[in-house]
Chains A and B, each alone.
Chain A
Amino acid sequence: QKEVEQNSGPLSVPEGAIASLNCTYSDRVSQSFFWYRQYSGKSPELIMSIYSNGDKEDGRFTAQLNKASQYVSLLIRDSQPSDSATYLCAVTRGNFNKFYFGSGTKLNVKP
């Protein structure tokens, strides 16, 4: 079983819609959760971090964490074509010295 699982997509949404990206993780002791965005040929950039159950909002982005279900999601409101990228979910445990990444979900926002 993989540490972090994501649907590879592609997920296609029209411009202005809400994009919903999902991630599950296998280890209950995972402590911190992150969403990164990676454009083709580029390095990942951090979008959101979340540490406790519930929702965390930052601009058009909302991260949701449910530790009981071992599930973390990212909502992107008012999706823009510039949001088209691969979104990577990452979790850490053990003093934050191990980052485990999912395989990423490719998002296409159509104008």
Chain B
Amino acid sequence: GAVVSQHPSRVICKSGTSVKIECRSLDFQATTMFWYRQFPKQSLMLMATSNEGSKATYEQGVEKDKFLINHASLTLSTLTVTSAHPEDSSFYICSARDRANTEAFFGQGTRLTVV
């Protein structure tokens, strides 16, 4: 399958600071990227969908001003958690697909801990 690289894999930050997570498609052009959050022992919750060059579409209940998504190129999308709080601690996962395929491939995930 296609390769999606997510960085960093783990991050610990202080409450009130911002954290940026990168998601890169290494061997294909990701026309669509998805950002998910997963709390322990729960399923993936879709946060937002972004298409290259356009604004992200956020799911209901997800604060767009808190979770900033940028999909400026066909190989890179970023998620910035602004003014992070302990309740934002979670496993954040990106996935990406290209125009030719229906499958979406996942990055390795980022374990965010806000202290």
Contacts and interface: CB of A to CB of B under 8 A. Distances in A.
Interface of A: 32, 34, 36, 41-46, 49, 51, 88, 92, 96-104
Interface stretch (B12-20, B61-69, B96-104): B96-104
Main secondary structure of the interface of A (DSSP, over half): strand
Contacts of A88: 43-44
B53 to A, nearest CB: 14
Main secondary structure of the interface of B (DSSP, over half): strand
Given A42-B109, A43-B109, A100 B102 contact: no
A104 B41 CA distance: 9
Contact of B97 (A51, A96, A100, A103): A96
Nearest to A34: B103
A61 to B, nearest CB: 14
B103 to A, nearest CB: 6
